[in-house]
Amino acid sequence: MWIYEKKLQYPVKVSTCNPTLAKYLIEQYGGADGELAAALRYLNQRYTIPEKVIGLLTDIGTEEFAHLEMIATMIYKLTKDATPEQMKEAGLAAHYVNHDKALFYQNAAGVPWTASYIQAKGDPIADLYEDIAAEEKARATYQWIIDMSDDPDLNDGLRFLREREIVHAQRFREAVEILKEDREQKKVF
């Protein structure tokens, strides 16, 4: 089970009301390679992965929920003072008529999140490559959003998140190596 602690993993600041940036960030909230996809993917794989890797999946999965909360906070801060007219100019009219300024688990184009984005095969090597790929894709998404953003405060938070994805990818690569070694050992003896 999880205990909620009322603080963010890393402080979130935004320079100004900017619903256009919010629209892009929705991709990392409910998009194919966003934080929801990451958290749900890792926590779901815990039951059939070798015991050695369970802790890693729990740790990273739990951290991804903290990232999801950071993204949610960013989107909220970027839109909370926006008028309907500003939402419209930001390409968020379709969002507004459905959700007002509430968040929703969809990508930047408005397509609802689906579990079809993620996978669990029961095969540890396949699952870990699924995870490495997920982190590499999330890293790319952060890069494309940073390319589009001119908000230095927001970018500070996005760079923190991008760095975490790189660290996670590395840890999943190490886990592959550990499992492969184990497999070799078993063949030897």
Write out the binding residues for a copy of itself, residues 149-178 only, by CB under 8 A. Answer: none
- Mark whether 135 is an active-site residue: yes
Decide: is 4 part of the binding site for a copy of itself (CB under 8 A). yes
The CB-of-189 to a copy of itself minimum distance in angstroms stands at 24
The CB-of-152 to a copy of itself minimum distance in angstroms stands at 17
Show the site string, 36-55: x = touches a copy of itself by CB under 8 A, - = not. Answer: x---x---xx-xx-------
Number of residues interacting with a copy of itself: please give it, by CB under 8 A.
Answer: 82
CA angle 117, 118, 120 (to 5 degrees): 155
3-state SS assignment for residue 15? coil
CA distance 138 to 149: 17
3-state SS assignment for residue 24? helix
Q: Which residues pair with 106 in a beta bridge?
A: 112
Choosing from 27, 35, 63, 130, the catalytic residue is 35
Q: Are 38 and 138 in contact (CB under 8 A)?
A: yes
Decide: is 103 part of the binding site for a copy of itself (CB under 8 A). yes
Using CB under 8 A, which residues numbered 50 to 89 contact a copy of itself?
Answer: 58-59, 62, 65-66, 69, 72-73, 75-76, 84, 88
The residues, ordered by sequence, that sit 6+ positions from 78 with a Cβ below 8 Å of its Cβ are 14, 17, 18, 19, 21, 22, 25, 154
Using CB under 8 A, which residues numbered 104 to 133 contact a copy of itself?
Answer: 104-123, 125-127, 129-130, 132-133
User: Residue 16 or residue 98: which is nearer to a copy of itself going by CB?
Assistant: 98
DSSP summary character for residue 11: -
